[in-house]
Structure 1
Amino acid sequence: MEQVIITSINKQELVDIIEQTVKKVFGSAKNEVAIPNEKPIGVHRAANILLLSGASIYRKCNNLEIPHFKRGNRLYFYESELEAYLKAGRKLSNDQIDQLSDLYLKK
């Protein structure tokens, strides 16, 4: 293993180097969820959006099936994340599957 000796570097330069390396490794811009000015909603509103009972919401959160966060004994959600959760479960029709397979085979 090659040894690297860093000399005459100030604290801020070292912090910048570490931040750049972490961003490069983890791709921070891709992993961050940008939710501009969106306010969190509670369980009852989430249940109305997902058309589920409150008990189902708690069960799905316990099983880590839906995106949520928790402060104390309360669960919070973002509407945009719940909508993305619904869209992720979308099933294609047979016609859509046929169209996609035709496009794939033409390549």
Structure 2
Amino acid sequence: MEVPSFTQTQLDVAEIKNGYLKILDQLQQKIKTSTDDKDPKSIDDIAKLTGYTKKTLYGYCQKNTIPHYKKNGRLFFFKSEIVAWIQQGKQKTINEIESENDEFFDAKNKRLK
């Protein structure tokens, strides 16, 4: 068994250190993201997230269309709820609609037989 050179050992340690730093960075991002979802957001933050104007967001709040909280006259939002609200508006693709139609008519034909 050959003993690695000092230079090779240094390179190996540097590679391990870089891997460790990448993992540490990913963990910190994950912690920041999970903490971010628990912190209430302002209407300005939600305007940046959604691309809607503040006026539009106020209108959605007034109509109770968008999930929000009101405390002492101020509006608060949670990012996870806003993302879920956006996802509720998913439009089906033509393939999804055709597939649903096929399933519906197949089921209907089975009942008629």
Q: TM-score by structure 2 length? A: 0.57
Q: Which amino acid aligns with 1:45?
A: D
Task: Tell me what 1:56 maps to.
Answer: 56
Q: Deviations over 1:56-97 (max 9, x none)?
A: 111110111100001112100011111111111111121111
Larger Rg: 2
Q: Distance in 2 between matches of 1:56 and 1:87?
A: 18
Superposed, 1:56-75 pairs within 5 Å as 56-75=56-75
Q: Which amino acid aligns with 1:56?
A: T
Q: Distance in 2 between matches of 1:105 and 1:98?
A: 11
| Structure with the bigger percentage of helix | 2
Runs of at least 5 residues in structure 2 that lack an aligned partner in the other structure: 1-34, 108-113
Runs of at least 5 residues in structure 1 that lack an aligned partner in the other structure: 1-35
Q: Distance in 2 between matches of 1:103 and 1:44?
A: 44
Question: Percent identical across equivalent pairs?
Answer: 24
* Structure 1 position 100, deviation (Å): 2.2
RMSD: 2.1
2:83 aligned with 1:80 = no
* Structure 1 position 38, deviation (Å): 1.1
Structure 1 outlier segments of 4+, above 3 Å? 103-107
Task: Tell me what 1:41 maps to.
Answer: 41
Q: Distance in 2 between matches of 1:39 and 1:58?
A: 20
